[in-house]
Amino acid sequence: MDPITALLDDLLAEVRPLTSGAPATYIPELATADPDRLAFAVVGPRGRVRDVGDTDHEFTIQSISKPFVLALALSERGRDAVLAKVGAEPSGEPFNAISLEKHTGRPANPMVNAGAIATTALVEGAGIDDRMTRIVETLSAFAGRSLWVDEDVYASESATGDRNRALAHLLRSHGVIEGSVDIAVETYFRQCSLLVTVRDLAVMASTLAFGGVNPVTGHRVVAETVARDVLSIMASCGMYDFSGEWLLRVGLPAKSGVSGGLLAVAPSQFGVAAFSPRLDAHGNSVRGIAAVETLSERFGMHLLEPHESVSVPALTVEETDSGRVVRLSGELGFAGTERIAAILRELVEVLPADSSVTVDASDLGRTHPAALIALRAEFDSMPAGFRLAE
Ligand code: GLN
């Protein structure tokens, strides 16, 4: 077992004794889940999957479908059209709350049920089948394999989904849903009933982590701007009325579902997923939360602690026939230009006045416009032999 898988295995043993909470029962079919199931998976930048526990066990995706259907709606309609129908503010309320913005009737965000139903209603297509085809294609591309609906869970949710139906009727009364309420709600129930494994969820998370490109299949699934928008909303709203404390403790965009799945995204690093059906009072997996919190600590994934890669650019200094070359690689952020400027100033002091120094920025994987502007400006005050190659 490789050391990272061993770390995950240790974690499995650590959280297994947590037996508080209970599987969801309001969708009768979910109440039949084996509460002891437990699995984790992590997917890294080259698509390497590490998973432990009940990794092949399938469960319905439930609310974890919401960010991915949001990604589809954003891709099809654009951000403004989506925001016209659903907000981007944490609601501070339970996932099934009947809380709509005064006057507009807009749901607070696409991660609570009302907002998710409004988002699903934006997906293009004439009827349920058309829309589901697009949804299944998108979620399958995120997961890197073909997903399908658990018809028993779908039937169970549809038979008992009065609250979601009521929410959808309210949304239509405000003009948030413009078409058929039935199509919107039944499509939503079907998207929630897609079967996934913990491994699928980790691959889906990793596709968001790497800017919309699935690192296992290598395919671009959504635009980088779409992945960023989805992650932003997950960061503030993904864990319902626990989202603030989650961000404080774990520091990662995440999404949970009532069947016990949970995924979290460490941008440019990992996609992570956990599965354990016992839920806390917020409807989030008890062991899933404990596991991802510990993982975030052990792997140093909290987004709001210092990460040096942007402020300390990777560089090598080479002596060549045409003088000294400072070769930049990786990502150059605005803050990183301060380090390069400091190196250049040192070189000005120690080298003879007519020295040739080239900063080669042509191999940078990623630059930000402000970084290049700042870097170019440094050369205005440098000796003539100092130049920037872009
Ligand atoms: N299908 C579920 C519902 O609408 C999804 C809720 C959830 O996973 N939090 O109630």
190: helix, strand or coil: helix
pLDDT band at 12 (very low <50, low <70, confident <90, very high): very high
Confidence band for 236, pLDDT divided at 50, 70 and 90 = very high
Q: Which residues line ligand 1 (CB under 6 A)?
A: 62-63, 95-96, 113, 157, 164, 192, 257-258, 283
Q: Does pTM top 0.75 for this prediction? A: yes
The DSSP-derived string for 72-113 is HHHHHH-HHHHHHHS--S---S-TT---B-TTT--BS-TTSH
299 residue type, one letter: F
- If you average pLDDT over every residue of the chain, what do you get? 94
pLDDT tens-digit series, residues 277-291: 999 999 999 999 999
- Name the pLDDT band for 1 (thresholds 50, 70, 90): confident
CA 211 to ligand 1 centroid distance, Å:
26
d(CA 172, CA 228): 29
- The ligand 1 atom nearest the CA atom of 116: 4
Report how far Cα 282 is from the mean position of its chain's Cα atoms: 20
Amino acid 177: pLDDT:
97
For residues 307 and 373, the model is more confident at 373
| Alpha carbon of 251 to ligand 1 centroid (Å) | 24
pLDDT of residue 290: 97
3-state helix, strand, coil in the chain (%, to 5): 45, 15, 40
pLDDT reported for residue 93: 86
CA distance 161 to 175: 21
User: Residue 127: CB partners within 8 Å, gap ≥ 6?
Assistant: 183
Ligand 1 pocket test target in 59, 62, 240, 279 with most atoms within 8 Å of CB: 62
Alpha-carbon gap, residue 125 to 261, rounded angstroms: 28
Q: How far is the CA of 354 from the centre of ligand 1 (A)?
A: 69
Res. 309: pLDDT tops 80: no
Testing ligand 1's pocket by substitution, the residue of 26, 29, 95, 156 carrying the most ligand atoms inside 8 A of its CB is 95
DSSP codes, 251-296: -S-EEE-TTSEEEEEETTTEEEEEE---B-TTS-BHHHHHHHHHHH
> 23, exposed or middle or buried, with CB in 10 Å at 0-12, 13-18, 19+?
buried
- Tell me the C-alpha distance between 223 and 207, whole Å: 11
Q: What is the pLDDT of residues 361-372, one digit of tens each?
A: 999 988 888 888
Taking residues 47-57, report their average pLDDT.
Answer: 97
- Indicate whether 143 pLDDT > 90: yes
Helices H / strands E in the chain, number of each: 14, 12
pLDDT of residue 366: 85
What distance in angstroms lies between residue 256's CA and the mean position of ligand 1's atoms? Answer: 10
For residue 334, give both structure tokens.
């605005």
Q: Using 50, 70 and 90 to split pLDDT, how confident is the model at 308?
A: confident
- Sorted by sequence, the CB contacts under 8 Å of residue 171 that are 6+ apart come out as 100, 105, 107, 114, 117, 118, 121, 177, 181, 184
Q: What is the largest CA-CA distance in the chain?
A: 82
Reduce the DSSP state of residue 57 to 3 states and report it. coil
Cite the annotated binding site by residue number: 63, 113, 157, 164, 188, 240, 258
State residue 367's pLDDT score. 84
Task: Provide the annotated binding site for substrate.
Answer: 63, 113, 157, 164, 188, 240, 258
Confidence (pLDDT) at 107? 96
What's the gap in Å between 362 CA and the centre of ligand 1? 48
At 88 the pLDDT is 96
The H or E element that residue 133 is part of is helix 128-143
Domains of the chain: 3-299 (3.40.710.10), 308-389 (3.30.750.24)
pLDDT at 2: 87
> How far, in Å, is the centroid of ligand 1 from the Cα of 186?
13
| Range of weakest confidence among 229-243, 259-273, 310-324 | 310-324
Contact (CB, 8 A) for 258 and 30? yes
Predicted confidence band at 165 (pLDDT cuts at 50, 70, 90)?
A: very high
